[in-house]
């Protein structure tokens, strides 16, 4: 017998055997299941009482006020986010005029406290940011857009995460900004 024939025979045997072993063993009887869970189920809804009013929303949204969202293109302020959540039409950062088909029941704007509002100020060319050489360089890169804007965003996030962010332009609870 050739190796190929032997392999085919082996595979056929395995397929037939697996098929026979994989047959449905049937469902357990109700009597067999009665003792399976003698305690009350953990879920309060397992007994049939289910919520009758479901709320839809977002529990963690960042706007342009958060450094990470602002760095990667978010241009909407918290007011815009709440208007959008209520079902109002807004101008999105990337897709033009947009509106939800159904308003949200709730929205949590969860912007970061460190450097809050920094990117909107950078885009606006705030004098305190342009007075710092690094702030000015980042502003110029962002104004160029494209790859330069992406480079600025990555540099800003890198400097912040490494603790090398220029103190003169840092926005924090104790900062002048």
Q: What is the pLDDT of residue 25?
A: 65
Q: Which residue has the higher pLDDT, 23 or 94?
A: 94
pLDDT band at 23 (very low <50, low <70, confident <90, very high): low
Q: Give the SS3 label for residue 58.
A: strand
Please say if the pLDDT value at position 32 is more than 80.
Answer: no
The CA-atom distances, in angstroms, between 176 and each of 53, 71, 154, 168, 171 are 46, 22, 25, 9, 8
Please say if the pLDDT value at position 18 is more than 60.
Answer: no
Q: What is the pLDDT of residue 164?
A: 95
Please say if the pLDDT value at position 20 is more than 60.
Answer: no
The string of DSSP letters for 107-125 reads EEE---STTTTHHHHHHHT
Taking the whole predicted model, whether its pTM rises above 0.75 is answered as no
pLDDT band at 24 (very low <50, low <70, confident <90, very high): low
Please say if the pLDDT value at position 93 is more than 80.
Answer: yes
Q: What is the pLDDT of residue 8?
A: 72
Q: What is the pLDDT of residue 30?
A: 78
Q: What is the pLDDT of residue 170?
A: 93
The whole-chain average pLDDT of the chain stands at 85
Please check whether residue 99 is in contact with residue 133, taking contact to mean a CB–CB distance below 8 angstroms: no
């Amino acid at each position: 017998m050739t190796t190929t024939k032997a392999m085919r025979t082996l595979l056929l045997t395995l397929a037939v055997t697996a098929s026979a072993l994989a047959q449905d063993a049937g469902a357990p009887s109700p009597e067999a299941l009665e003792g399976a869970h003698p305690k009350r189920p953990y879920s309060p809804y397992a007994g049939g009482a289910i919520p009758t009013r479901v709320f839809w929303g977002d529990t963690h949204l960042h706007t342009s006020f958060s450094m990470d969202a602002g760095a990667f293109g978010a241009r909407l302020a918290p007011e815009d986010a709440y208007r959008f959540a209520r079902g109002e039409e807004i101008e999105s950062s990337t897709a033009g005029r947009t509106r939800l088909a159904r308003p949200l029941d709730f929205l949590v704007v969860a912007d970061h406290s460190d450097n809050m509002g920094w990117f909107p100020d950078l885009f606006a060319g705030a004098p305190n940011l342009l007075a710092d050489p690094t702030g000015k360089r980042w502003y110029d890169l962002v104004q160029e857009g494209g790859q330069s804007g992406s480079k600025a965003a990555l540099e800003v996030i890198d400097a912040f995460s490494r603790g090398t962010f220029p103190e003169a332009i840092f926005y924090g609870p104790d900062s002048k900004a």
